[in-house]
Amino acid sequence: MVQIVISSGGTGTLAQWLLVELQGEVEPRQSGDLAGNLLGDLHYTCEGIPVLIVGHHILYGKVVQLEKPFAVLVKQGGAPQSSPMEPHSHYTVTALIKTKLLFKTRPKPIITHVPRKV
Amino acid sequence: AAMRSRAEVDATLQTAKLNPAELLPAVHCLSFGPQAGGGECCLLQLEPGLCAELEAGRSLVIRGEKDEHAVLCSKDKTYDMKIADTSNMLLFVPGCKTPEELNADPASCNIIHSQIAGFSKNYWELRRCRPKLKKLRKLLMEDPYEGPDSQKDQTSTFSKYTTEDLLSLIQASEEEILHQLQVIDACKIEGYWRILDFDYEMKLLNHVTQLIDSESWSLSKVPLCACLEELGSLEPREMIEHILLSYGRKYVDDAGEVFFEMREDKICRAIAQMLLQNAVKFNLSEFEEVWQQSVPEGMKTRLDQLQGLALVDKSSRPETIFLLKVEDLPEDNQERFNSLFGIRQKWTEVDITPYIQDLCAEKQTVGALLTKYARSSMLNGVKVYNSRRPIS
């Protein structure tokens, strides 16, 4: 039987990350990986409402305390994306996520200045 | 990608027609980190208590054979694992602050460049489940201990199992395994967990009950020392102590001496099993008579001591009783009900409860199980349960 250990590696307190939940897909503007690309600017209103500007859209969201936090696991050894039951693998808990920014509303398109027809 | 400047951020705000006066001064410029698409990160949703376990530095373990559903075990609980798909994108962002955190830290930077570490459309979801302990008994029954005189142990080719072995073979947490070992009266012999062969167990019990009788000890005050002295020449001391621990409650009196209060129900039940295992079924009233005569002086037999061990057939003339051990039945809920309805078409709640009690999840009742897996009807004014599907 396979036994895969999930541990924090004992390196002190776990980092706290945030989850950003978006509807639909995020695609790079140019073809290729997302890695290295900008996503957008995240602001908060004075009332604490998250506002995300992505490309030509404004997304309004809310801060949600997660009833069930997440652990972010990073696989050690073995190939990535393979089944969880692969032997010789071990997961490290890199961080915990207790809060998410949920963007559920329809994105508002940003109308940029349209040149007048002459 | 070059890092955005404050001027660029402000220009975007202007284009978006957002009023900076209505926003907190700090902005997070989110970009995808170099590893972001790699798929090396994944999310595990934590049930209550697991977060604290991880924060305290304890580990969790995923266990399962390749063809089994994986389970996740903490020190003392077991959970089913499955992938939950969302239709949303989940981005995990280190170093991203909430409005409270920004407000609490007046010195926070105006621009925070946050790199998205990874993203996913799914996560692992956990659901607390019953530990899969049937295998434990099956493994230990491969080679029951028959006593020191048995030739078997020397020539035995069967595996024997240490605690570590069991942890690597059974889909359950360590505490659940250790607890179950206690429940089934397993004992450690030379570092290996063993279950006693039933005949040998009865032989040991008989030594003790005969000694209690000949010494006229009270059933609630059986002295350990005297037992070891008197019986030590017949059986290993560890086995005598083990049988006392299995069938009695240990206590220490004011003088510091160890005694056992013998457990009437458990002893009567074991003797019933010994009688019932010799035939397919028995005439109920004959059995009850022989049974009462077979138990130690001073003990009273009652049919409710046999719950989950034997079943009375009230429809036959004369009434009969036969051995039916719950631990011999399937572990899976549907299979258990199929098996029970194969044995008897219609069950009353009183009769079926001992045979499904162990299936109840943490806050589940027997009633809920019956609603789910059975159909009820009335038979002669009594509510009975039968299968939801035709049994071949």
Please give the ipTM for the structure prediction: 0.84
Residues 157-176 of B with CB under 8 A from A: 167-169, 171
Closest chain A CA to residue B59: A7
CA distance B147 to B239: 8
DSSP state of B153: H
Closest chain A CA to residue B127: A68
Kindly state whether residue B157 falls inside one of the protein's structural domains.
no
Q: Tell me if A63 and B99 make a contact (CB, 8 A cut-off).
A: yes
- Position B391 scores a pLDDT of 61
Residues 3-32 of A with CB under 8 A from B: 3-8, 10, 13-15, 17-26
Kindly state whether residue B310 falls inside one of the protein's structural domains.
no
State whether B70 and B30 are in the same domain.
Answer: yes
Kindly state whether residue B119 falls inside one of the protein's structural domains.
yes
Tracing tokens 């020449």 back to the chain, one arrives at B233
Q: Tens digit of pLDDT for each residue in B108-153?
A: 678 999 999 988 989 999 999 999 999 999 999 999 999 988 866 6
DSSP state of B22: G
State whether B49 and B67 are in the same domain.
Answer: yes
Containing domain of residue B191, as a range? 133-150+162-195
Q: Tens digit of pLDDT for each residue in B70-79?
A: 999 999 999 9
Kindly state whether residue B54 falls inside one of the protein's structural domains.
yes
Q: From the CA of B281, how many Å to the nearest CA of chain A?
A: 40
Using a CB–CB cutoff of 8 Å, tell me whether B111 touches chain A. no
Q: Which long-range contacts (CB under 8 A, 24 or more apart) does B238-246 make?
A: B238/B187, B238/B189, B239/B147, B239/B204, B240/B204, B240/B207, B240/B208, B242/B185, B242/B187, B242/B196, B242/B204, B243/B201, B243/B204, B243/B205, B243/B207, B243/B208, B244/B208, B246/B185, B246/B201
State whether B124 and B139 are in the same domain.
Answer: no
Q: Tell me if A20 and B169 make a contact (CB, 8 A cut-off).
A: no
> A70 to chain B: which residues are within 8 Å by CB?
43-46, 92, 123
- Which segments in chain B show pLDDT lower than 70? 1-2, 37-38, 107-108, 151-157, 391-392
Architecture of the domain delimited by A2-28+39-77+88-109: Sandwich (2.60)
State whether B28 and B88 are in the same domain.
Answer: yes
CATH code at position B236? 1.10.10
AA letter at A36: G
State whether B137 and B114 are in the same domain.
Answer: no
State whether B92 and B184 are in the same domain.
Answer: no
State whether B62 and B47 are in the same domain.
Answer: yes
Q: Strand A90-103 vs strand A2-7: parallel, antiparallel, or unpaired? A: parallel
- Position A82 scores a pLDDT of 53
- Which of B237, B262, B287 terminates a domain? The answer is B262
State whether B67 and B108 are in the same domain.
Answer: yes
State whether B113 and B224 are in the same domain.
Answer: no
Using a CB–CB cutoff of 8 Å, tell me whether B381 touches chain A. no
Using a CB–CB cutoff of 8 Å, tell me whether B32 touches chain A. yes
CA distance A48 to A31: 35
pTM, to two decimals: 0.84
State whether B118 and B141 are in the same domain.
Answer: no
- Position B61 scores a pLDDT of 94
Strands (E), B150-295: 187-189, 192-194, 222-223, 248-252, 258-262, 282-283
Q: Tens digit of pLDDT for each residue in B207-253?
A: 999 999 999 999 999 999 999 999 999 999 999 999 999 999 999 99
Q: What is the dihedral of CA B5, B6, B7, B8, to 10 degrees?
A: 60
Q: From the CA of B191, how many Å to the nearest CA of chain A?
A: 22
Using a CB–CB cutoff of 8 Å, tell me whether B131 touches chain A. no
Kindly state whether residue B60 falls inside one of the protein's structural domains.
yes
Total number of domains constituting chain B: 3
For chain A, give every domain's residue range. Answer: 2-28+39-77+88-109
- Position B389 scores a pLDDT of 80
Kindly state whether residue B168 falls inside one of the protein's structural domains.
yes
Kindly state whether residue B145 falls inside one of the protein's structural domains.
yes
- Position B40 scores a pLDDT of 79
- Position A87 scores a pLDDT of 54
State whether B173 and B217 are in the same domain.
Answer: no
Higher pLDDT, B92 or A109: B92
Using a CB–CB cutoff of 8 Å, tell me whether B31 touches chain A. yes
Kindly state whether residue B22 falls inside one of the protein's structural domains.
yes
Indicate the pLDDT class of residue A86, thresholds 50, 70 and 90.
low
State whether B11 and B56 are in the same domain.
Answer: yes
